[in-house]
Amino acid sequence: MRDSLRSKFAIRRLSAREQNFRGELPVKELKRLGELLWDDSGMLEYRLAFSIGANDFVCVLGELRGFLMLQCQRSLKPFAWPLATRVRTILVASEMEEQRTDEQDDVRMCPNGEVTILDLIEDEVLLALPVVAVNSQATMPENPAAEPNANQRSTAFSVLKSWRRK
């Protein structure tokens, strides 16, 4: 099944067949999320259904669920962020098609009228990520500006002096 997620599909063929994709996907398969995550552990559950919508557009409806390990920007510690997003996207093959869509529609351009399901899932996850990841149960460190221990303190001159000795 994972191989089919990497395959390119003609969007018109998917919608004409009312093709459905459902399953679980390891987070580590979503390569573009790399540096945005604390780690790539876990699984995402996906459900996508392709159909022909209004004005003869190819529509994708579905949902993505799972947990992503993010770094809390308040505590700087990892936490499991719950991903639960609905997918409602119109797929178009050309700019002419895109111009016929409404402004409020979520439109994705598919070069040559083809789409990779894995890329579609990855795009939706990227769009769902918070701008600033904050764990609602996290607290600020007690004294984040506390000076380091005397043993750990060093000045630029002491560092240069130690280099000179080498």
Report pLDDT for 71: 93
Q: Per residue in 104-157, pLDDT tens?
A: 889 999 989 999 999 999 999 999 999 999 988 877 666 555 555 545 566 766
CA-nearest of 54, 44, 68 to 117 is: 44
Q: What percent of the chain has pLDDT above 90?
A: 55
**Buried-state track 2-41, b at ≥16 Cβ within 10 A, e below 16:** eeebeeebebbebbeeebebeeebebebbeebeeebbeee
This prediction has a pTM of 0.78
The 8 Å CB, 24+ separation contacts for 131-136 are: 132/73, 133/70, 133/71, 133/72, 133/73, 133/79, 133/81, 134/72, 134/73, 134/74, 135/72, 135/74, 135/75, 135/77, 135/79, 135/81
pLDDT at 65 over 90: yes
Q: What percent of the chain has pLDDT above 70?
A: 82
Domain boundaries of the chain, sorted by first residue: 2-138
Residue 39 DSSP SS3: strand
CA-nearest of 42, 57, 43, 46 to 21 is: 46
Please give the structure tokens belonging to residue 16.
């004409």
Across 56-73, average pLDDT: 94
